[in-house]
A and B are shown apart, each in its own frame.
Chain A
Amino acid sequence: GAVVSQHPSWVICKSGTSVKIECRSLDFQATTMFWYRQFPKQSLMLMATSNEGSKATYEQGVEKDKFLINHASLTLSTLTVTSAHPEDSSFYICSARDGRIAKNIQYFGAGTRLSVL
């Protein structure tokens, strides 16, 4: 199956700093990538849809200035948590859709655990 790499897997930062998370599709081109957030013992909540070469589409309630998304190439999308605060601590997961296949299957990265002190 398609491979999605997400980096870093774990980051600890001080309150007020910014953190960048990378999501790469390794063996396919992804015109669309997705960013999710998961709180402990809860489901995955879609934050935004990242489209290559255009602006991301954010879900209701997600601050676009807080969570900056860049999808500059067909294999890379980045999520930057700006001026992070303890309430931003969470598990962030990206996914990518393989545009070569008609089926709407998203392949997920391993996730990034963000801890803001």
Chain B
Amino acid sequence: DQQVKQNSPSLSVQEGRISILNCDYTNSMFDYFLWYKKYPAEGPTFLISISSIKDKNEDGRFTVFLNKSAKHLSLHIVPSQPGDSAVYFCAASDGAAGNKLTFGGGTRVLVKP
């Protein structure tokens, strides 16, 4: 039972354009959501997060949107750069359940120069 899903395994985008990554969840108890970036053979790097009391959080080129009613969040990267090519994981946590993170399956992003 996958509680966090990233339905697009891969995404290809031209440099300078917007990358939009999507993530859906089923557990209504999740109250905090995060996006991580991961290169092969490395640990994930934290990018941006959002609390369930907000619907948008922005940090530089990265913006995360949360639609609680749809149990959906998205990560926008604009403008996309070749160095953004990596696997992106969304993760969710339930503060009442020990703050464990549940990860989605990941989306591989390729930014073409």
Contacts and interface: CB of A to CB of B under 8 A. Distances in A.
A97 B43 CA distance: 14
A34 B101 contact: yes
Interface residues of B, number: 23
Interface residues of A, number: 27
B99 A32 contact: yes
Nearest to B106: A43
Given A43-B89, A107-B46, A91 B99 contact: no
B49 A103 contact: yes
Interface string A37-65: 00000111110010000000100000000
Interface of B: 32, 34, 36, 41-46, 49, 51, 89, 93, 95, 98-106
21 contacts: A4-B43, A43-B89, A43-B104, A43-B105, A43-B106, A45-B103, A57-B98, A94-B43, A95-B43, A97-B99, A103-B32, A103-B49, A104-B93, A104-B95, A106-B101, A107-B46, A108-B43, A108-B46, A110-B43, A111-B42, A113-B41
